[in-house]
Amino acid sequence: MTTQITICGGGNAAHTLAGLLSSRQELSVQVYIPFGNEAQLWQEGIQQNKGITVNTPTGTIQGQPSAVFQDPSAAVSGSKLVFVALPAFAHEPILKQIAAHISPGAWVGAIPARGGFDLCVRDVFKERLSEISIFGFQTLPWACRIQEFGKQTTILGAKKQVDITAWPSVMAPIISARLQELLSMAINPTASFLSLALADTGQIIHPGIMYGLFHDWTGHPYDKPRLFYQGVDANIAAVLQQMSDEIQSLRTALEGYYPNLDLSAVRPISDWLKLSYQTNIVDSSTLQSSFATNTSYTGLLAPMQKTNGGYIPDFQARYLSEDVPYNLLVTRGIAELAGVSTPVIDKVLSWAQNQLAKEYLTSGKMQGADLQYTRTPQRYGFTNLSQFMKKMQYLASTKNNAYVF
């Protein structure tokens, strides 16, 4: 018997996931794409190509999704597993479209989750929350790009292991074991969505390096694009270190308040670099050299746009437009609830919000008009740490009537 699952999204991640999962006999994979004319392009592509081809470093995998829908009810009704494989800004609208049609017992999760995904699901599902289980991946397991829309995608590199979390927390080992089997990769269950949010190093590295490279930019175009990771000098490394230290102070404060809280996955940036890129770092003696001599980062450029006069920074790129409202600000909001000050993170955020033409922090507080477009605790009305920890059940585990398949 086949198990029906749904993938929401039409981009790089969705192509890869759809190709890989629909190659499995035991799954019937439906795709939900309400965006533009993408559903039609997928249908045509799948028909012409007889499915989605996934090019991997070790060979080719061919899968055939059973149907592509623009209608949310047809797309998710009866599915036991629903992946939201989209950039974070699209999570909330998609969840709002599918929430009423999700079958009781389904697992609903994001790949990757980014910060505050659980706050968003809780808000959207409201009284239906107890009918589902939520999961979130720390990151996308692959660097992947569409080759031909609706037809072909390429995995440029795959992570050795990916962390996942789930709510209710009793579901984390169950969901992670099943997804590990389905995706044929190491998936490691971690404690909570709180841990997942604080452990995201992209929130340090992406806005931190953007700030470092461009905070004193005068508006004159550069002759050539700037290197991103290899552009980390001693000053930028100091900013990254201080941002990491501030998140560690938050971890220490939370563990002090809640001795049973497991935040062991929230690692200092240098530990994370060593763990993730052990064999790729030529000189790990300093944080700066760990970036500059990491062969995985060689040649990667800062997001920049070509203009007549040369290259200018692209401040709308995801390093700010995704990592600020859905990552760093979520952490900053939790720090505010915990009474932990974050002066360097605030400096980076204040600069970033100006570049994004948004107002999140005003007078050093999470009270700007654009908080409504974030996933911070403050956006969802939390003003007090114990209320937040209790409502989000970061310390307790409860059972629900989830599918096990």
| Contact footprint for ligand NAI (CB under 6 A) | 9-13, 33, 35, 38, 86-88, 90, 93-94, 112, 139-140, 143-144, 318, 322
Q: Give ∠ CA 279-284-289 in degrees, rounded to 5.
A: 115
Residue closer to ligand NAI (CB basis): 29 or 344: 29
Report, in Å, the least distance between residue 8 CB and ligand NAI.
Answer: 8
Where is 176: in which H helix or E strand?
helix 171-183
> Based on CB atoms, which residue is closest to ligand NAI, 87 or 221?
87
Shortest-Cβ-distance residue relative to ligand NAI = 11
Residue 399 beta carbon to ligand NAI: minimum distance, rounded to whole angstroms: 31
**Do residues 257 and 238 touch, judged by C-beta distance below 8 A?**
no
Q: How far is 154 from 53, CA to CA, in rounded Å?
A: 8
Catalytic residue among 15, 91, 101, 206: 206
The CB-of-226 to ligand NAI minimum distance in angstroms stands at 20
**Cis, bond preceding 65 (omega within 30 deg of 0):** no
Q: Are 131 and 400 in contact (CB under 8 A)?
A: yes
Q: What φ, ψ does residue 41 adopt, rounded to 5°?
A: -65, -40
Tell me whether residue 15 is one of the annotated catalytic residues: no
Q: Please give the distance of CA 37 from its chain centroid, rounded to a whole number.
A: 25
86 or 239: CB nearest ligand NAI = 86
Burial of 62 (0-12, 13-18, 19+ CB in 10 A): middle
Q: Minimal distance in Å, beta carbon 121 to ligand NAI?
A: 16
Least Å distance between CB 235 and ligand NAI? 26
Closest residue by Cα to residue 331 from 386, 271, 249:
249
Decide whether 9 or 303 has the Cβ nearer to ligand NAI: 9
Measured between alpha carbons, how far is 161 from 182 in angstroms, rounded to an integer? Answer: 14
Residues in the chain, total: 405
Which CB, 226 or 318, lies closer to ligand NAI? 318
Provide the 10 A C-beta neighbour count for residue 242.
Answer: 17
Active site residues: 206
